[in-house]
Structure 1
Amino acid sequence: MDHPTDSTAMVAAISGALADPGPEDRELLASIVQVARSIFGAAASSIFLFDREHDELVFEAVSGEGEDFLVGTRFPAHRGIAGWVADTGEPMTVDRLAGDGLFAQDLAERTGFVPDAIMAAPVMHRDEVLGVIQVLDPHPQSRSSMSDLDLLTAFAAQAGLALSGLVRSRAARGALALGGGEFARLAGIVRLLAELPEDRRASGLRLVDSLHEVLAGMVR
């Protein structure tokens, strides 16, 4: 690392990786789509992450149709109902997708399931659109009521907390990886600490504290 600011960025990355290991966020996302699908009596529910670097929407959690294989699948960020919601930051419900100008049927066909109706809302955190939550083929009584969109938006708020944690964790780990060979061991320590069960993590952190004291003594 050649610049003084690089070490500051690396410290921030390490702090982020340790503070938010991520598995709990993925579990929360899975729980949100499961509950949303049940509440709306839907065929499927899913949460997309908006990957700005690659300009794509990525399935992060799926319940119902496609749950066995869609997680990790990517689509263009600005197509379809989900793309419109990500672009505008506005929720949307469409009762009859056939013939709707925004509906990207070719993308739906790639998932193996073409819905007749959809409800979608932006997943936001601190006024930033992080992704989209959608419910496919909700029960007819749930399709046209604004109160149902409000409920879906409430689910989206919970998803925003989980997605923001996931994004921070991945960004921190990515920064560690970009640090080069000199940080390879440090990245490995961070990964191991993050994977430790809660009852053993305190012992691991005490070892890190001891190492910190030794290194601090070396630079004095």
Structure 2
Amino acid sequence: MTQSATTRSQQSAVRDLTRRGGSERLALLYEVTAAFNERIDLDELLPLIITKSRELLDAESSALLLLDAERHELYFPYIADVAPDVEQRMAQIRFPADRGIAGWVLQHGTPQLVPDVARDPRWYGGVDQQSGMSTQSLLCAPLRTAHGVVGVIELRNKLHAAFSELDLAFLTALAGGIAIAIDNARLYRKLKESEAKLRQQVVVLQREVAGHSRFTDLVGSGEAMARVFELMEHAVTAPVSVLIEGETGTGKELIARAIHFNGPRRDGPFVPVNCGAISETLLESELFGHKRGAFTGASSDRKGVFEVANGGTILLDEVGETTPAMQIKLLRVLQNGEVVPVGDTQARFVDVRVISATNCRLEVAVEQGRFREDLYYRLNAFPIAVPPLRARKEDIPLLAAHLLERTTEKFGRRALGWSPTALAQLSSYDWPGNVRELANEIERAVAVAGSGETIEPRHLSDKLNVGEIVLSSVGTGTLTLQRAREGFEARYIAEALQQHHGNVSHTARALGLSRSTLHKLLKRYRLQEA
């Protein structure tokens, strides 16, 4: 039944009340209808209605039962009973939505007058057993909304007479109004929730855009970073391909984002793709798209990221990991500005600025024959070399302060400070995982320290304290062999990673480990983001 049909049923019940002299009830019904229009808050509105209906119909108990669709149960959110202890017990009761007279009315949508529940085979006595009530007679009407029946309203045991058809007509009209109020209130609540969510998204986007429009996430006051900032300023206005070289964790993607969001393409998309994390077959589809039926699972046409980034910027992260075949396809995009989706023969033209990033020396890869020279010169039109953190240790105190502020805000902690000793230990460590590793270390320290507590060396991980621990403990024997071995292993891996400029594959080969084993060790010792 639609909401208009519900309204017609309600109007019919009102006419019946008028013909049969229910002026007092009609007055209350209009009063209740006015209350529907004045109040949106169900927790204010419905207890009033339940209490008024019990008083007007001279019933022992009145209750609203709503459907919990997920659990398929009926429950009692609003109750008015002459005995307050019964109200408290009923508020705890739930029962299957297909049980009892209430369940029948919920399922069939037809109001019921039951003068003697003991003679009705639909009667479910579980509520009486749990609440301490003793039900003899019952009125029950469905709450029918535009989306279906959402519950019922019940009245039990008329105090000084028997329930009549006039009582049922009134309850049916009242139930129609309650159902409309519930539907409107739920819609209003959803709109408010959607509005709140949209407001929150706007705030997040405003913060993100504000962050993108400045170099705020790139912190450094030393000469090395000053040179990077200078190059970035030039790259913003120069419409050329940019190659960002630097070890893992130095902030290459942050630099690419800053160049994009400060440049003339800022209103276009910025699309990063990690070339080293995707197999060649999948990478081709990811970059250039595919036609329906091009391979198993290609159920529809799909645009690649070059088309998605049209009018904006694409970041080819870890471009040095691409295969020779993929390098040829990338060269075609850079030379002609065209892509060919997998399974297609028709080229599509794109207008995309390409920024590339790598943690290896592409010039060396060219000399070794692992990277095409012509592609290298296309990508390297505007090179930016990002120094490792160990080469700009003068920036560590500034970075530590910036990351600490960001982390405490993220964790909802009060702002913390650094003890001079802890800050000195941060500055003396070589950080093979660079800024990313430093950020991880600070997150760990904030998690370990109490809110408002100054961060001390004891809050830092063992890798920062291992030298001090080993030297101070050897003579006393307080350091176990296992602990000393782990300390040595962490330092040794960190130095190897540093020697190979943060390249995990090269470090693993040098240490005689598989790449997966090295990743586990890096994660265990928090040398690099896992």
For the criterion TM > 0.5, the same-fold answer is yes
Q: Which amino acid aligns with 1:67?
A: E
TM-score after normalising by structure 1: 0.65
Which deviates more from structure 2 when the two are superposed, residues 77-86 or residues 108-117? 108-117
- Decide whether the 8 Å contact of 1:49 with 1:163 is kept in 2: no
The match for 2:127 is 107
The residue that corresponds to 2:203 in the other structure is 211
- Residue in 2 that maps onto 1:56: 73
Does structure 1 residue 151 correspond to structure 2 residue 170?
yes
RMSD of equivalent CA atoms: 3.6
Q: 2:44 aligns with which of 20, 23, 27?
A: 27
What is the letter of the counterpart of residue 180 of structure 2? L
Paired with 1:123 and 1:209, the residues of 2 have a C-alpha distance of 36
d(CA) in 2 for partners of 1:40, 1:129? 23
Q: 1:69 to 1:168 in 2, by over 3 A?
A: farther
Distance 2:209 2:162 in 1: 64
Aligned mates of 2:189, 2:202 — CA distance in 1: 27
1:160 and 2:152 aligned: no
Cα deviation, 1:7-49, whole Å, max 9, x if unaligned, reads xxxxxxxxxxxxxxx9811221111110110011000000011
1:81-120 alignment, distance < 5 Å:
81-120=101-140
The answer to whether the 8 Å contact 1:25/1:165 transfers is no
Alignment of 1:69-88 (within 5 A): 69-88=89-108
Closer, same or farther: CA 24–171 of 1 in aligned 2, 3 Å: closer
In the alignment, which residue of structure 1 is the partner of 2:484? none
Name 2:440's counterpart in structure 1. Answer: none
Post-superposition offset of 1:122: 0.3
Identity %: 27
TM-score, normalised by the number of residues in structure 2? 0.29
| Residues 77 and 167 of structure 1: CA distance in aligned 2, closer, same or farther (over 3 Å) | farther
Amino acid at match of 1:42: A
* Higher RCO (CA 8 Å, separation ≥ 6 residues): 1
Partner of 1:122, secondary structure, is: strand
Counterpart of 1:134 in structure 2 is 154
Match of 2:398 in 1: none
Tell whether 2:57 aligns with 1:37: no
| Post-superposition offset of 1:111 | 2.0
Structure 2 gap segments, 5+ residues each: 1-38, 211-265, 268-530
Superposition deviation, residue 213 in structure 1: 7.9
Change (3 A) 1:63 1:109: same
Contact kept in structure 2, 1:29 and 1:162, CA below 8 Å? no
* CA–CA separation in structure 2 for the residues paired with 1:86 and 1:43: 22
Pick closer, same or farther for the CA change 1:99–1:169 going to 2, 3 Å.
Answer: same
Summarize the Cα distance change of 1:210–1:76 in structure 2 as closer, same or farther, 3 Å threshold: closer
Check 1:169–1:54 CA distance in 2 against 1; reply closer, same or farther (3 A cut).
farther
Whether the 8 Å contact between 1:47 and 1:134 is mirrored in structure 2 is: yes
In 1, distance between residues paired with 2:191 and 2:71? Answer: 18
Distance in 2 of aligned mates of 1:35 and 1:122: 18
CA–CA distance in structure 1, aligned partners of residues 61 and 126 of structure 2: 18
**Secondary structure, aligned partner of 2:59:** coil
CA–CA distance in 2 between the matches of 1:170 and 1:74?
24
Given the superposition, is the C-alpha separation of residues 140 and 83 from structure 1 closer, same or farther in structure 2, using an over 3 Å criterion?
A: farther
Q: Which 5+ residue runs of structure 1 have no aligned equivalent?
A: 1-21, 177-185, 191-204
Aligned AA (2:53): A
Measured in 2, the distance between the counterparts of 1:87 and 1:63 equals: 24
Q: Distance in 2 between matches of 1:117 and 1:171?
A: 38
1:68 maps to what in 2?
88
Residue 183 of structure 1 is matched in structure 2 by none
1:40/1:142 contact within 8 Å kept: no
Query: Is 1:46 aligned to residue 63 of structure 2?
Result: yes
Cα distance change of structure 1 residues 79 and 167 upon mapping to structure 2, 3 Å threshold:
farther
Aligned with 2:90: secondary structure?
A: coil
1:167 & 1:57 partners in 2: Cα distance? 18
Are residues 157 and 211 of structure 1, via their aligned partners in 2, closer, same or farther at CA, if it must alter by over 3 Å?
Answer: same
Quote the Cα distance in structure 2 between the aligned partners of 1:212 and 1:165.
Answer: 30
